[in-house]
């Protein structure tokens, strides 16, 4: 990643909000082991303001697509309220193992973070936080399915954990779908396809769509995309 690369990934800009197309493989913030991360490059998106934009939410390192940034404190506070109140409409595309019996459904399973010997993961647990994901089948064959997923809550790894819980883990998911990477490469096939933000009062929502990343094109073609 370079500042120029990031500028080329700008999908939307106004005085308060930016939306970028985050590449898969880039963490959004520094981890315990350091390394490259998105916040090192955000100054390139200041566009004349005294401060760099900041994250309004997060995407996993291996998830690509729409990522919302606030350009100043007031904007970040307003975006934080929208996300906390569940007023942001988020659409993800996922390629999963197998084919669901139905064409659409709702996964309503509480999730709780659990520590394991290899790290942590989210598990279905009655005492966990309420977690709801709507999904719709967009295409597929006898081995893979292309799902549109809309998380109605914002839990960490929600789509990944929910899809695995119903028996259809995401392709390339090293935590929730061990061994699935051999089906279509070794990368996680999860993309933040679109986001809709009712940010400006009296105006239509900010609606942004991210292009399909190269590493997902072959699998989506296979699924009829």
Of the residues 5, 21, 36, 60, only one is catalytic, namely 60
Calpha distance 80→99 (Å, rounded): 36
The contacts of residue 118 (CB under 8 Å, 6+ apart) are none
- Is residue 49 within 8 A of residue 13, CB to CB? The reply is no
The contacts of residue 34 (CB under 8 Å, 6+ apart) are none
Query: Is 60 among the residues known to form the active site?
Result: yes
Q: Which DSSP helix (H) or strand (E) runs through 216?
A: helix 214-222
Calpha distance 24→13 (Å, rounded): 21
Calpha distance 145→29 (Å, rounded): 31
- Is residue 160 within 8 A of residue 172, CB to CB? The reply is no
Calpha distance 180→194 (Å, rounded): 25
First to last CA, the chain: 28
Per DSSP, the three-state class of 84 is helix
Q: Catalytic residues, which ones?
A: 60
């Amino acid at each position: 990643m370079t500042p120029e690369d990031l500028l080329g990934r700008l999908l939307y800009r106004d005085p308060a909000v930016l939306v970028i197309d985050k590449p898969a493989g880039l963490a959004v913030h520094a981890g315990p082991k350091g390394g490259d991360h998105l916040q090192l490059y955000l100054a390139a998106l200041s566009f004349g303001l005294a401060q760099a934009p900041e994250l309004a939410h997060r995407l996993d390192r291996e998830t690509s697509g729409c990522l919302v940034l606030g350009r100043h404190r007031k904007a970040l506070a307003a975006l934080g309220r929208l996300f906390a109140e569940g007023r942001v409409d988020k659409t993800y595309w996922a390629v999963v193992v197998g084919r669901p019996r139905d064409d659409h459904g709702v996964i309503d399973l509480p999730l709780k973070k659990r520590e394991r010997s290899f790290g942590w993961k989210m598990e279905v647990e009655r005492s966990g936080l309420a977690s709801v994901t709507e999904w719709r089948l967009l295409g597929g064959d006898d081995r893979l399915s292309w799902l549109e997923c809309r998380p109605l809550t914002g839990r960490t790894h929600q789509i990944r954990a929910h899809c695995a819980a119903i028996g259809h883990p995401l392709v390339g998911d090293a935590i929730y779908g061990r061994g699935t990477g051999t089906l279509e490469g070794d990368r996680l096939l999860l993309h933040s396809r679109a986001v809709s933000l009712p940010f400006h009062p009296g105006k239509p929502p900010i609606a942004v769509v991210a292009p399909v990343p190269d590493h997902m094109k072959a699998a989506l073609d296979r699924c009829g995309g």
